[in-house]
Amino acid sequence: MREIAVVGVGMTKFGERWDKQLRDLFVEAANEALKDANMERNEIQALYVGNFSAGSFVGQEHVGPLLADYLSLKYKPAFRVESACASSGMAFNLACMAIASGMYDIVMVGGVEKMTDISAPEVTSVHAKAMDAEWESFFGLTLPAAFALIARRHFVQYGTKPEQLAMVSVKNHRNATKNPLAQFQFEVTVERVLTSPIVSDPLHVLDCSPVTDGAAAVILCSAELAKKYTDTPVYVLGFGTASDTIALHDRSDITTLGAVVEASRQAYKMAGIEPKNIDVAELHDSFTITEIISYEDLGFCEKGKGGLMIQEGETEIGGRISVNPSGGLKARGNPIGATGVAQVVEIVQQLRGAAGKRQVSGAEIGMTQNIGGTGSTCVIHIFGRQRR
């Protein structure tokens, strides 16, 4: 298997982007990645793009060729990947395999979503399509409600407290004030989180990731080519992907995301590292409970101790493992199809030492963890400043 490097990254400002269409958002991020890699667009051999539901959000399907067209990648293969919130994480994974296999030498991976053109109830219905349509969403279960059930059960099994969930929001909002591309650049307090409107008890508005427009793009090449494009390539050391039941009720324990456990086991093994070696991680905090459970299922702490981990400040920038320095989905924003690649953009910036005010000092090894639906998909990548 050939080694893989990331040599260019680009991302739009996340938020309500009335000023740009879906295609324009993507082209902006992609052009920035090309510029960052000092690369001509005709060097790109294929495009992989994550997108969850452009058909429902803006009435546009067939986004692979659309985006290749607007990026002037004439006749180049363009693959659209859909895996709910993990769409562009999965696109990145497939692109890694294409480079590793020798099929392509240089590819672009991106993600884009434009979600704010429809009403909030409509957005909630579109999100619910990532769950079991016949046995969950048909009966009125929504994604926030599903994670509320998970949170409640975590409270019962492990004594986790609403205040500990709120601390995830406080940390990620604070980090986002140092990220000029983040959707929300304001701080919140535990009290403000706990008094914000309830979305689905015990989750408040400030426990939820928002509705976001945005795009992100990166350029991958074989490790041998990397130094031609940049002095600071970041290498993919390992990855893992796994699926789990589509419906929550088919799981023996809803407080564990089995796909996260399995995908991380594969990724640690391929990278030859343990959880304690991770310096910085971009985790999938779609809801505050998701970040807490992820600490546990990734092996950052013992099962049931995620609440304590946030409470003791272990995941602050500069803590034992810095988690979501970008602000995470919670505060950087969550344009579903773009989130996985936006996580990669942040880890690459961190490992280059180019993350500005939110830089994790001396970061050598980073992780991205991207989840789809209620954890029915998980894809994890581990990155390093040095080759394996």
Build a one-symbol-per-residue string for 39-78: x at contacts with ligand COA by CB under 6 A, - elsewhere. ----------------------------------------
Q: H-helix or E-strand containing 169? A: helix 162-176
Q: How far is the CB of 120 from ligand COA (least distance, A)?
A: 3
Cα maximum dimension of the chain: 56
Name which position in 22, 39, 47, 85 contacts ligand COA (CB under 6 A). 85
What order of strands is seen across the sheet that includes strand 78-81? Answer: 78-81, 46-50, 106-114, 213-222, 4-11, 234-243, 377-384, 365-372, 280-282, 322-323
DSSP for 11-71, please give it.
EPPPB--TT--HHHHHHHHHHHHHHHTT--GGG--EEEEE-S-HHHHHS---HHHHHHHHT
Q: How far is the CB of 45 from ligand COA (least distance, A)?
A: 32
Q: How far is the CB of 5 from ligand COA (least distance, A)?
A: 30
* Cα angle 185, 381, 177; round to 5: 10
Name which position in 144, 333, 337, 384 contacts ligand COA (CB under 6 A). 144
Rounded Cα–Cα distance for residues 33 and 25 (Å): 13
Instruction: Decide: is 184 part of the binding site for ligand COA (CB under 6 A).
Output: yes
Instruction: Decide: is 199 part of the binding site for ligand COA (CB under 6 A).
Output: yes
Instruction: Decide: is 97 part of the binding site for ligand COA (CB under 6 A).
Output: no
**Which residue type does 316 have?**
E
Give 137-157 as a 3 state SS string. HHHCCCHHHHHHHHHHHHHHH
Instruction: Decide: is 206 part of the binding site for ligand COA (CB under 6 A).
Output: yes
Report whether 168 contacts 292 (CB < 8 A): yes
Residue closer to ligand COA (CB basis): 73 or 216: 216
Among the residue ranges 86-94, 200-208, 223-231, 315-323, the one whose residues contact ligand COA (CB under 6 A): 200-208
Instruction: Decide: is 210 part of the binding site for ligand COA (CB under 6 A).
Output: yes
Q: Which of 143, 134, 146, 169 is nearest to 52 (CA)?
A: 143
Instruction: Decide: is 143 part of the binding site for ligand COA (CB under 6 A).
Output: yes
Build a one-symbol-per-residue string for 342-361: x at contacts with ligand COA by CB under 6 A, - elsewhere. --------------------
Residue closer to ligand COA (CB basis): 78 or 166: 166
Instruction: Decide: is 369 part of the binding site for ligand COA (CB under 6 A).
Output: no
Catalytic residue among 85, 96, 301, 378: 85
- Taking residue 103's Cβ as centre, other Cβ atoms within 10 Å add up to 12
Rounded Cα–Cα distance for residues 221 and 233 (Å): 10
Closest-CB residue for ligand COA?
Answer: 120
Active site residue 301: no
Residues that bind ligand COA (CB under 6 A): 85, 120, 123-124, 127, 143-144, 184, 199, 205-206, 208-211, 286, 334
What amino acid positions are annotated as catalytic residues? 85
